[in-house]
Structure 1
Amino acid sequence: MTGIDRRSLATFLGTLAVLSGTIVAVSRLAGVSMLALAPAYMFTPMLAGIATCIVGPPSFEAAGLRLPRGRFRWLAVAVAVPIVLVLLGTAISLGLPGVEFVPDANPLTGEGTQFAQPQDGEATPAGPSLPGWPWNLLISIVAAVVFGVTINGVFAFGEEFGWRGVFLTELAPLGFWGASAVIGLCWGLWHAPVILEGYNYPNYPVVGVGMMTAACLAMSPVYTYVTIEAKSVLAPTALHGTFNAFAATMLVFAQGGSELVVNPVGAVGIAVFGLAAVGIALTGTPALEGDWALPVEGEAGGDGRDGGTLEGSPLEE
C-alpha cells in the first residue's frame, strides 16, 4: 500500500480552508447569516476536490466521478438506508421519557409541530397539506426520495465529491476505518460556522458543534461503505440528499425531549448510525484502495460479478 500523497492532501485541505474561510469572512463583514450562505458553503468541498483533481492526482474518475455501472442497486440501497435509519431512530425516540407521538403532523411543512412557520397573515405554514396517518408518512417517504436525488442531491454532491470522492481517495492508505474517522472529524468540524449560528441545535450552538462532529463520525462509515460498494460518489450523494430530505420526520412525529437527543444528528441519530457501523464491522468491512473507483482491465461497464469484489484489487472486500 502506498502512502498518502501529501501534496494532493494539502491541495484539498488548503483549498477547502480558503473557500470556506472566504464565505465565513463574507458572512461576518457583510452581516449576512451563515444560514443564508449555507447553500454556497455546501459547494466548498466539491470545489476543493475539483482543484485537487486538476492539480492531480487523482483523476476525476479515480475519485468516483463515474456511473456505478453494474452496481446501480447500490444507489437504491443508498436511498433506502437513511429512510430506514431515521424511522428506526424515530421508533427509539418514542420510547424515551417525555417524547410524544404526533401521528397527524405534516413532515413537509411542520404543521402541527413547534417547527411550523406560518407566513404573514396565514394560519398555517406554507406548503402542501397531507392526509392523516399513515399516509402522511408514506407521502413523506416518496417526497424524500424524489427531492433527495434531485434538488437535495445537487447540494449533497457539493459536499460528497469532496468528502467521499477526493478526500476518501487521498486517505485510502489509512484503510476503511481510518479514512472514515478522519473524514468524519473534518466533516463535522467543517459544519461549525453554521452550527454556531443555531442550525440543528438552536438552543445549544456551542455544544452542538461537538454533537455534530460526533454525528458525522458515526455516519461516516455508512457513507464510506456505500461509496466503495457502488464505486461511485453518486451513492453517498443519494444517501446524503435523501437523509437531508427525510431527517425532519423524526422531529415531527416524535416531539419532545432535548434537541441534543431526539434529533437525527443528536444522540438518537448517533446511536442508529453507530449500530449500522457495527453491522458493517460484523458482516465484513470492505477494503479501501487508492483505485477503489476504477474498473478492472477488460471490464465493460461493471465487474460482472454482481458487486462481489471491489474492482482494481484482488484482495479487496
Structure 2
Amino acid sequence: MPTPDRGRLARFVVTLVGLAAALVAVSLATGVRMVALAPVYMFTPMVAGLVATLTSGVSLRTVGLRVGRPTWLAVAALSALPMVALTLLLSVAVPGIGFDPSANALPGVTLPGGAVGVLVTAAVVLALGATVNAAFAFGEEFGWRGYLLWELAPLGFWRASGAIGVLWGLWHAPIILDGYNFPSFPVVGVGLMVVACVAFSPLYTYLVVRAESLVAAALFHGVFNAAAGFVVVYAVAEDPALDELVANPVGVAGALAFVLVAAALAARATPTLDRVTLAGE
C-alpha cells in the first residue's frame, strides 16, 4: 500500500509557509492589508501543489485536474446553496440572533418580490459562484483537494479529511489576524476557523471522490463563498460575539451545519478514498 511521500509533503508545506511569510512581509513593508492581498494569497496552495507535483513527476491529471463526472460537478455547485441555508437556519435558531427579512442580499440590484426574487437571487449567486469565485477557489483547491488529498489518500477518508482541514484552517491565520471573518475576535477566530475547516473537509472530500475531479471542490467553494453573505446579511445580533462567532458561515453555525452533514456521511458507507480513484483510473 502506498504511503504519503514525506519529501513531497515537505516541499508542499515549506512552499506554502514560505509564500505566506513573503506576503505577510509585503503587507508589513507596504502597509497594504493582508485582507487586500487575499486574492493573491488564495493561489498560494496551488503554487505549493505545483511545486510538489511537478518536481516529482506526478501529473496534474493524477491529482484530479480533469473534468470528471459532470453530474457530480453540478451537484457540487448546487449543494453549496442548501448548506448556506442550513447555516442561516441554525444561526437564527440561537437566542439573541434574529432574522431580518428586509435585508438586501444584493445591494444595488432591483429584484422582484416573493419567490421569484429568491430564485433570481439564487441564480445570480450560483452564476457568480461557479465562475468568478470558483476561479479564485481553484487556487486553493488545487492544493487542498488536488495534490494534498491525493497525497494523503492512503490515510483514509476521515483522517485525510481531518488533516487537510487543520492545515487549511491554519493557513487562514494571516488574513484572520488582520481582521477578516472575525474582526472583534481575531485570535479566537483562528481557532474557530480551524474547527470550521475540519468540519467542512469531509463534504469537500466526498464531492471530489464522487466527481473524480478537484473541480468539484472549486465549484462548491466558489458558490459557498458567494452565498455565504446571506448569513451575514439576514442573521442579525446586537452582541458582537453572537454576530461574529455564531451567525457566521465559518463560525459555530457554519461548522455545525457541516458536522451534521459529516454525521450523515458517517452513517452511511463513505466512498473509498485511494489514489487510483482520485486519479480517475
TM-score category (smaller protein): over 0.9
Deviates more, 1:153-162 or 1:287-296: 287-296
2:198 corresponds to 1:217? yes
One-letter code aligned to 1:210: G
When normalised by structure 1's length, the TM-score is 0.84
Give per-residue Cα distances to partners, 1:135-194, cap 9 Å, x unaligned: 443222111210111110110000000000001111111111111011000000000000
Displacement of 1:272 after TM fit? 0.6
Native 8 Å contact 2:62 2:280 kept in 1: no
Q: Could you tell me how far apart the structure 2 residues matched to 1:262 and 1:245 are?
A: 16
Q: Could you tell me how far apart the structure 2 residues matched to 1:136 and 1:247 are?
A: 18
Equivalent pairs counted in the alignment come to: 277
Q: Could you tell me how far apart the structure 2 residues matched to 1:128 and 1:30 are?
A: 35
Displacement of 1:133 after TM fit? 4.4
Residue 276 of structure 2 is matched in structure 1 by 291
2:28 corresponds to 1:22? no
Residue 101 of structure 2 is matched in structure 1 by 103
Displacement of 1:132 after TM fit? 4.0
Q: Could you tell me how far apart the structure 1 residues matched to 2:85 and 2:115 are?
A: 13
One-letter code aligned to 2:28: R
Native 8 Å contact 1:106 1:136 kept in 2: no
Native 8 Å contact 1:104 1:132 kept in 2: no
Percent same amino acid at aligned positions?
48
Residue 51 of structure 2 is matched in structure 1 by 51
State which of 124, 148, 151 in structure 1 corresponds to 2:129: 148
Give the RMSD, CA atoms, in angstroms: 1.3
Native 8 Å contact 2:236 2:243 kept in 1: no
One-letter code aligned to 1:208: G
Q: Could you tell me how far apart the structure 2 residues matched to 1:204 and 1:135 are?
A: 38
One-letter code aligned to 1:25: A
Displacement of 1:57 after TM fit? 4.2
Equivalent positions of 1:219-298 (< 5 A) are 219-256=200-237, 257-296=242-281
In structure 1, list runs of 5 or more residues that go unmatched.
Answer: 110-126, 297-317
2:142 corresponds to 1:161? yes
**Structure number with larger C-alpha Rg:** 1
Q: Does the C-alpha gap of structure 1 residues 202 and 99 become closer, same or farther in structure 2, counting only changes over 3 Å?
A: same
Q: Could you tell me how far apart the structure 2 residues matched to 1:210 and 1:133 are?
A: 39
Q: Could you tell me how far apart the structure 1 residues matched to 2:274 and 2:190 are?
A: 31
Tell me which of the two structures has the higher relative contact order, counting C-alpha pairs closer than 8 angstroms and 6 or more residues apart: 2
Equivalent positions of 1:82-231 (< 5 A) are 82-109=80-107, 127-231=108-212
Deviates more, 1:262-271 or 1:87-96: 87-96
Going by fraction, where is helix more abundant, 1 or 2? 2
Native 8 Å contact 1:58 1:166 kept in 2: no
Displacement of 1:134 after TM fit? 4.1
Q: Could you tell me how far apart the structure 1 residues matched to 2:45 and 2:113 are?
A: 40
State which of 65, 77, 88 in structure 2 corresponds to 1:79: 77
Native 8 Å contact 1:103 1:134 kept in 2: no
Native 8 Å contact 2:125 2:223 kept in 1: yes
In structure 2, list runs of 5 or more residues that go unmatched.
Answer: none
Q: Does the C-alpha gap of structure 1 residues 87 and 231 become closer, same or farther in structure 2, counting only changes over 3 Å?
A: same
SS in 1 for 2:244: coil
When normalised by structure 2's length, the TM-score is 0.95
Q: Does the C-alpha gap of structure 1 residues 295 and 168 become closer, same or farther in structure 2, counting only changes over 3 Å?
A: closer
